[in-house]
Amino acid sequence: MNVSVAALPAHQVEAEGLIVGVPEGTTTPAGALAALDAATGGVIAEVLGSATFAGKDGQVEVVYPLRGAKAKRLALVGLGKDALTPETWRQAVAAGMDALRGKVRTVALLLPDGLDAATTPTVEGAVLAGYKFEAYHTKKDDDDRRFTGLTVVGGDEAAAQRAAQLAAAVCWVRDLSNMPGNVLPVPELLTRACAFVEEAGITVKVIDGDDVLKQGFGLLEAVGRGSQYLPAFLIAEYRGAGDDAPWTALVGKGITFDTGGVCIKPRAGMEEMKTDMHGVATVLGALRVIAERKLPLNVVALCPMAENMPDGDAYKPGDIFKAYNGLTVEVLDTDAEGRLILADALAYAVKHYQPKAMVDVATLTGSIIMALGYEATGLFSNNDELSRALLASGTETGERLWRMPTWDVYAENIRSDIADVRHIGKAKGDAITAAMFLKRFVGDTPWAHLDIAGPSWLAEAKTYHAKGSTGVGVRLLVDWLERN
């Protein structure tokens, strides 16, 4: 979508549709709305005076044909009566776009009153709401339902372009996690990932083939051995600060498809496991934005990639493997593969980068969906300050986090009789067990684990998300890195 700003009165902006927000209980148009109302023959005042539109949260009224403006359609979107937040505004923008979808292809948005720096959430909401995964329709008969242009009336040009870049990175993450497993096996994920970050001047290093085992990634190798595609480990470095400045490490789960392996998953819903590399896509998406913004930080993204398949050579329950940090791990369920590949990556990050902070992102457990549903990411951390910072970014970006415990009492659950550690527990609460397992690989490094299994995927479209992958986590990480 082409994003621009215009310094014109709304009625003079070249766009087929206009979207404006209206706080609940507004009876007469004020501010920019008043000017638009005057130009369009009082049509806004008329709608506000009607019994059918009260400006309630999520309520939308479309005026057509609009006279006196270049746009032929006007969507009035209710903003409710609470103070406007970036997130409520993003959602309002999406509601306006939903109402105009298929009717117009270019929209102009009026910035709402009472929201600082409103250009950013305006562009984010609009670009994200305009997203559609459409790589595989051979007939593009949906063309008229796609938005091509967005103009922010009175917006800040620099902020608009930054937000557009950020939203484009989120859409890249969505595209990759929506792609089926056959299209995006490890080598293809690797190629696309490298190309995407290299475009922003990020340097990459790949450990693959025999080197995975030779260099000590015993868990990653184990998970990937049932697949015809060998596992790989991608290291992407962005050096925006000096050589002496400490690193921040981002680690993502990159399972290109998760069948469960020998402990195979039930058929129902298995196709969703094409999104099990969302974590890798998320951290690379964030890294690219950080590089595009030239932030004065050193950030490294560590991306273990594998396909979890059953096969004659696949790993089995009861197998024991040596992790990158030397710990021996007893595997009891081959479907708990994510924590294994992350463990090697976390240990690698600690050893080679001594990061001042480390965050991993993973579609890790069904258990976190039982706990938090689809509305929040599970946050697990050994550090209160890091947790607070991430929680604040969650609120700012609308990507909600909820902190879960990592008390030592839970560690009992992963004690193994025949190895240093087992990777699943005997008790309930697997999302916590998984985090306790990861914690064994981070040492004293301030670390947070984000289990995005819930919010990364939607069975139905919601607010500014289409059905399928949401691209969750990119905006969160960028916000956090930018402020810290």
What residues are labeled active site?
A: 265, 339
E-strand spans in 270-376?
A: 298-308, 320-322, 328-330, 357-362
Asked if residue 451 binds Mn ion (CB under 5 A), the reply is no
Asked if residue 258 binds Zn ion (CB under 5 A), the reply is yes
Distant-in-sequence, close-in-space partners of 342: CB < 8 Å, separation ≥ 6: 251, 253, 304, 360, 362, 364, 438, 441
Q: Of Mn ion, ligand BES, Zn ion, none, which one does residue 153 interact with (CB within 5 to 8 Å by kind)?
A: none
Q: Of Zn ion, ligand BES, Mn ion, none, which one does residue 180 interact with (CB within 5 to 8 Å by kind)?
A: none
Gap between the Cα atoms of 241 and 238, Å rounded: 9
Asked if residue 237 binds Mn ion (CB under 5 A), the reply is no
Interface stretch with ligand BES, choices 9-17, 36-44, 143-151, 335-343 (CB under 6 A):
335-343
Counting residues that bind ligand BES (by CB under 6 A) gives 15
Quick one: which of 237, 276, 307, 479 contacts ligand BES (CB under 6 A)?
Answer: 276
Quick one: which of 37, 124, 175, 335 contacts ligand BES (CB under 6 A)?
Answer: 335
| Beta carbon of residue 223, minimum distance to ligand BES (angstroms, whole number) | 10
Give the residue with the Cβ less far from ligand BES, 238 or 441.
Answer: 441
Residue pair 24/84 in contact by the 8 Å Cβ criterion:
no
What are the phi and psi torsion angles at 172 (to 5°)? -65, -45
Question: Quick one: tokens of 436?
Answer: 């306790």
**Contacting Mn ion within 133-162 (CB under 5 A):** none
Question: Quick one: tokens of 213?
Answer: 């085992």
Q: Of Zn ion, ligand BES, Mn ion, none, which one does residue 175 interact with (CB within 5 to 8 Å by kind)?
A: none
- Looking only at the bridges linking them, the beta strands covering 421-422 and 328-330 are parallel
Q: Of Mn ion, ligand BES, Zn ion, none, which one does residue 424 interact with (CB within 5 to 8 Å by kind)?
A: ligand BES
Gap between the Cα atoms of 391 and 388, Å rounded: 5
Asked if residue 276 binds Zn ion (CB under 5 A), the reply is yes
Distant-in-sequence, close-in-space partners of 242: CB < 8 Å, separation ≥ 6: none
Give the residue with the Cβ less far from ligand BES, 119 or 259.
Answer: 259
Gap between the Cα atoms of 442 and 356, Å rounded: 12
Q: Of Zn ion, ligand BES, Mn ion, none, which one does residue 430 interact with (CB within 5 to 8 Å by kind)?
A: ligand BES
Interface stretch with Zn ion, choices 74-82, 167-175, 252-260, 322-330 (CB under 5 A):
252-260
Q: Of ligand BES, Zn ion, Mn ion, none, which one does residue 57 interact with (CB within 5 to 8 Å by kind)?
A: none
Distant-in-sequence, close-in-space partners of 344: CB < 8 Å, separation ≥ 6: 216, 217, 218, 219, 220, 233, 304, 323, 324, 441
Residue pair 343/324 in contact by the 8 Å Cβ criterion:
yes
What are the phi and psi torsion angles at 7 (to 5°)? -105, 45
Asked if residue 37 binds Mn ion (CB under 5 A), the reply is no
Site string for Zn ion, 334-373 (x = CB under 5 A): ----x-----------------------------------
Residue pair 197/239 in contact by the 8 Å Cβ criterion:
no
Quick one: which of 221, 330, 335, 344 contacts Mn ion (CB under 5 A)?
Answer: 335
Give the residue with the Cβ less far from ligand BES, 3 or 431.
Answer: 431
CA angle 394, 398, 399 (to 5 degrees): 55
**Which residues sit at the interface with Mn ion, rule CB under 5 A?**
258, 335
**Which residues sit at the interface with ligand BES, rule CB under 6 A?**
258, 276, 333, 335-338, 363-367, 424, 430, 453
